[in-house]
Structure 1
Amino acid sequence: MTDHPILEVENLCTTFSRGGTALPAVRDVSFALGKGQVQGLVGESGSGKSVTLRSILGLARHYGEVSGSVRWQGQELTTMSERQLRKIRGREIAMIFQEPMTSLNPLLTVGTQIKETLTAHTDLGRRARRDRAIEMLDHVGIPAAATRLEEYPHQFSGGMRQRVMIAIALAASPKLLLADEPTTALDVTIQAQILDLILKLADEMAMGVVLVTHDLGVVAQTCDTVSVMYAGRVVEQGAVRQVLRTPRHPYTEGLMRSVPQDVPPRTQLYSVPGTPPSLFSLPQGCAFAPRCQAAGPACQTARPTLQDIAPGRQTACFHPLPATQEDAA
């Protein structure tokens, strides 16, 4: 964490309602992000990562109830009106959504979609907007940018569509980028290119990034800090190097063991036993207890809270894994 974070999320909760039943999708999520820092949110599908991003940007409150605090450069976003938020979205905080083919409008050229952002958030004239759109496509590595400006999303490959999404998000030079699994469904070569591009632009623009992913390899390569989420809660967080090298929560350890490393041929790969709980039937105690070999009686009835276990390191577990000399340092 930094002394002067640009984004502070405290006790963020998002609850949906279905048939009169309250479904807590995000519960008590807290983290801080400094200028130029990359924060990772990692966990299995359904752990609340994407909902967290949408809650930060005020998008989740259209279909759910959001509480807690989200402070952006000292401004409280959760109490802002929709009109006030529209001035911040795209201009100060931008978001890359998970699937570019469904996020891009198939009826509009990519140039039109980039220029829409510039029209809404800048004072640039028509010619200047076109020049900026060409500049952004060129900046994200799309060749013949002036020509491709007039093409439609279906004329681009998956990797190129993702680059277009990045160009739209960064067109107005935001100071915070929320990236929701920007490399999903892309081959590993294109994944590496997209991640390198985001990191390069973040460095050049002194931009903070919150990166949602389920890939621990991506986290290791790109993030400074990481929050591991399970069933809507943060169960462990800290510096990437510490969390991935010496996980203290059994769920984090399970995720690490699920990454194949030097596995002999025809060897069964490890997976965390069981499946994540449904929002309709969350356990009374620790949500991970039904899948955890270390769970004890307290885990069945009480819910552990996030506690400091080392400087800048937190975990929510009644039976954390043993500390190492690196943790104590």
Structure 2
Amino acid sequence: MTTAAEQSGLLVRGLTTTFDTARGTAIAAADIDLDVAPGEVVGLVGESGSGKSVTLRSIMRLVREPGKVRGRVEWNGRDLIGMPAEDLRRLRGSEIAMIFQEPMTALNPVLPVGLQIDENLKAHTDLGRKARQARAIELMTIVGIPSPETRLKEYPHQFSGGMRQRAMIAIALACSPKLLLADEPTTALDVTIQDQILKLLLDLRDRLQMSVVLVTHDLGVVAQTCDRMAVMYAGRIVETGTVPEVFATPHHPYTRGLLGSVPNADAPRTLLRSIDGTPPNLTDLPAGCAFHPRCAFATDLCRRERPPLETFGPGRAAACFHHQQVARAEALV
């Protein structure tokens, strides 16, 4: 029987992405389960290399050989993994849009920025030439690019890094998508523009019931923007929950370490906690729990077996055999 969540919004089940390399098979994302309801903002959090960007690209079917993607991805009940390429092409940019992490490589260097916005509008709307130009100017203004009439004629190399990121956001928002996959959308922006962009995304979420999957390493952005969050480590989701719940009581040692590394404004003299060690090699993951070499709570069980993502409350789950002990330890800090 199909549930309401499976009929509307984004549903991901068992999404796994691997890459064949000279050193073996790299498991970039493994058994990803993710639900995003209409109008919901879900944050994907983790260190670089944890699989966040690959997960977004896998959802959009943008992973090319030697990458292999398997699993189930549905958008409003439609199968994106098995969808014909032409149907998926019509869906991208209209209903589903993506903000890429590196605008200099995502933008076409030989086309003016205005033409790249116009391409999207021409492909997915019935607007005439003048209406498309007016819409492009409106989008450039919304994302904070000054003198939009002039900048539309310029090329990506004539924009600063922050300006290129804003142009990329304008292209993604051109057709008012219903699902936005945002890969570090505010990384290159100063705090003022970052705040404006985040407020814009939330405003579009409210007006259009737009769903957002936001990849970020900035927990401040997560606190300001997201309803729920999923923490990723070594290609797997290790903890999920609402933002207030996860921030208040993390149940995975990795989440605890991430939160402990952020300064607390209410307690300026509190020592910051760090996570010892480095992320594992994706072609040679350790046996058992991938986090156990860096974990103070690890036992022989963690070294032998991989913990499943276990549900322990409404909307809460953690992939840790000792998650209750981790939560109690957090409460004592």
TM-score normalized with structure 2 length:
0.91
1:163 aligns with 2:166: yes
Task: Tell me the residue number matched to 2:217.
Answer: 214
- What are the Cα deviations for residues 205-263 of structure 1, in whole angstroms up to 9, with x where unaligned? 22110000011111111000000000000000011110111101111000010112244
Note the 1:126-205 alignment, pairs <5 A.
126-205=129-208
1:307 aligns with 2:274: no
SS of 1:67's equivalent? strand
Task: Tell me the residue number matched to 1:85.
Answer: 88
Note the 1:21-32 alignment, pairs <5 A.
21-32=24-35
1:297 Cα offset (Å): 0.8
For 1:99 and 1:198, the matched residues in 2 are separated by 19
Choose the corresponding residue for 2:99, options 59, 71, 96: 96
For 1:97 and 1:239, the matched residues in 2 are separated by 25
Note the 1:229-240 alignment, pairs <5 A.
229-240=232-243
CA RMSD of aligned residues (A): 2.1
1:269 Cα offset (Å): 4.3
- What are the Cα deviations for residues 166-223 of structure 1, in whole angstroms up to 9, with x where unaligned? 1100112211000000112333333222222222222222211000001111111100
1:76 aligns with 2:89: no
1:67 Cα offset (Å): 0.8
SS of 1:279's equivalent? coil
Note the 1:96-135 alignment, pairs <5 A.
96-135=99-138
1:245 aligns with 2:241: no
SS of 2:283's equivalent? helix
Task: Tell me the residue number matched to 1:255.
Answer: 258
Q: Give the percent of matched residue pairs that are identical in Structure 1 and Structure 2.
A: 61
Higher mean displacement: 56-65 or 246-255: 56-65
- What are the Cα deviations for residues 15-34 of structure 1, in whole angstroms up to 9, with x where unaligned? 11013722111001111111
1:290 Cα offset (Å): 0.5
The one-letter amino acid paired with 2:185 is: P
The one-letter amino acid paired with 2:20 is: S
Contact 2:165 2:188 in 1 (8 A): no
Contact 2:14 2:30 in 1 (8 A): yes
For 1:159 and 1:222, the matched residues in 2 are separated by 20
1:5 Cα offset (Å): 4.1
Task: Tell me the residue number matched to 2:231.
Answer: 228
Contact 1:95 1:179 in 2 (8 A): yes
1:109 Cα offset (Å): 1.4
For 1:156 and 1:110, the matched residues in 2 are separated by 9
Q: Note the residue ranges of structure 2 that are not aligned, 5 or more in a row.
A: none
Task: Tell me the residue number matched to 2:292.
Answer: 289
For 2:235 and 2:110, the matched residues in 1 are separated by 36
1:80 Cα offset (Å): 1.6
Task: Tell me the residue number matched to 2:40.
Answer: 37
The one-letter amino acid paired with 2:147 is: A
For 2:228 and 2:51, the matched residues in 1 are separated by 18
For 1:88 and 1:271, the matched residues in 2 are separated by 42
1:129 Cα offset (Å): 1.9
Aligned length: 323
1:89 Cα offset (Å): 0.8
Q: Note the residue ranges of structure 1 that are not aligned, 5 or more in a row.
A: none
Task: Tell me the residue number matched to 1:274.
Answer: 277
Distance 1:5 1:254, change over 3 A: farther
The one-letter amino acid paired with 2:302 is: C
- What are the Cα deviations for residues 267-293 of structure 1, in whole angstroms up to 9, with x where unaligned? 974320111101121011000000001
Higher mean displacement: 202-211 or 227-236: 202-211
1:154 Cα offset (Å): 3.2
Distance 1:170 1:238, change over 3 A: same
The one-letter amino acid paired with 1:234 is: I
TM-score normalized with structure 1 length:
0.92
- What are the Cα deviations for residues 134-173 of structure 1, in whole angstroms up to 9, with x where unaligned? 2222233333322322222233333332221111001122
For 2:160 and 2:76, the matched residues in 1 are separated by 37
SS of 2:47's equivalent? coil
Contact 1:247 1:321 in 2 (8 A): no
SS of 2:205's equivalent? helix
Task: Tell me the residue number matched to 1:12.
Answer: 15
Contact 2:144 2:193 in 1 (8 A): no
